[in-house]
Copies of this chain bind each other. A is one copy, B any other.
């Protein structure tokens, strides 16, 4: 079968690899019908060393179950399913608390940690299929597929940012980042009723989509100038909640600048730093809080899917390009160049 491998920064290839097969009785084999490239794939695309490659890529996909291990009971051959970016058993203490990304099962993992599997491919072996896969009540060629595919990562991740930030109808929100996750954070803050949603981003096509998803204001300036503009828009004090959907240090610093005393910075952009200011002069003085982490998107699929099925939300609008497997390497480059917001892959 064909699959996507990253050899090092800037070097993504489509190659023939051994067919994925069932290995454990809890596995399912899924023939992928829709997949995509993630903003987080751009971190290794920018910095991965040759020693760390080649790595199988892709952690967001929809597909048709082709085979199941003997212990799998919730999905069967022929089912159309969506997979979250983290494998989980959906039964351990953490999963029951809705924290599937900390599932304590020995086989639980992020897809990016699965050496021989990936979603940007023709097929994939899914460990812990009962816990991980969710059946979709549509056909593989449904017009809703792009939106349903966002349940695998970006929608749930944006939603997690808003939930972890405790957004409600009395909340003013700043969203940092106009990538797919930032836009999903806008949509999620809107869904939770936020009073004001300021989107910080500088790509007009994306911020226009942000407006459509519910942003009340857009600030394209960055750094001190951007902070100043958000403060002007929010009565001088910044917003109760900041949804940080980028993950680098400038984004964190920007979050510190626009968060209101007593407010919360909810991070879902994977931090590209380990140490950061959290002392008296940054977080502590004004009781600022930090929240967020890898989104337990599995926990949100049943909650969010009905809104997609009935057309209340259309998160699939974040896909502005579609390709097949052969177009994946160019898709990475287009996303890195900000020519594409998010690339849908029909293998």
| A window 59-104: CB within 8 A of B | 93-94, 97, 99, 101-102
Question: With A285-B293, A289-B291, A290-B283 in contact, do A102 and B275 touch (Cβ < 8 Å)?
Answer: no
Assembly stoichiometry (copies): 2
Q: Using Cβ atoms and an 8 Å threshold, which residues of chain B touch A275?
A: 275-279
| A271 x B280 contact (CB < 8 A) | yes
Question: With A102-B286, A294-B287 in contact, do A97 and B279 touch (Cβ < 8 Å)?
Answer: no
| A274 x B270 contact (CB < 8 A) | no
| B274 x A282 contact (CB < 8 A) | yes
Q: Using Cβ atoms and an 8 Å threshold, which residues of chain B touch A283?
A: 290, 293
Q: Using Cβ atoms and an 8 Å threshold, which residues of chain B touch A278?
A: 271, 274-276, 278, 290
Nearest-Cβ distance from residue A238 to partner chain B, whole angstroms: 12
Question: With A267-B284, A274-B277, A284-B270 in contact, do A94 and B262 touch (Cβ < 8 Å)?
Answer: yes
Q: Using Cβ atoms and an 8 Å threshold, which residues of chain B touch A287?
A: 99, 101-102, 164, 291-294, 296
User: Cβ of A281 < 8 Å from any Cβ of B?
Assistant: yes
Complex partner residue of A99 from B262, B281, B293, CB under 8 angstroms? B262
Scoring A residues 131 to 156 as 1 if CB is less than 8 Å from chain B, else 0, what string do you get?
Answer: 00000000000000000000000000
| A window 279-328: CB within 8 A of B | 279-294, 296
Nearest-Cβ distance from residue A113 to partner chain B, whole angstroms: 12
Nearest-Cβ distance from residue A276 to partner chain B, whole angstroms: 5
Closest to A235 in B: B93
User: Cβ of A329 < 8 Å from any Cβ of B?
Assistant: no
Q: Using Cβ atoms and an 8 Å threshold, which residues of chain B touch A292?
A: 284, 287
Q: Using Cβ atoms and an 8 Å threshold, which residues of chain B touch A276?
A: 275-276, 278-279
- In the bound assembly, the distance between CA atoms of A237 and B99 in angstroms comes to 14
Q: Using Cβ atoms and an 8 Å threshold, which residues of chain B touch A267?
A: 284
User: Cβ of A54 < 8 Å from any Cβ of B?
Assistant: no
Closest to A262 in B: B99
Q: Using Cβ atoms and an 8 Å threshold, which residues of chain B touch A262?
A: 94, 97, 99, 102
Nearest-Cβ distance from residue A5 to partner chain B, whole angstroms: 23
- In the bound assembly, the distance between CA atoms of A102 and B277 in angstroms comes to 19
Q: Can you list the 6 inter-chain pairs with the closest CB atoms, starting with the nearest?
A: A287-B293, A274-B279, A102-B261, A290-B290, A271-B279, A99-B262
A binding-site residues for B, Cβ under 8 Å: 93-94, 97, 99, 101-102, 164, 237, 261-262, 267, 270-271, 273-294, 296
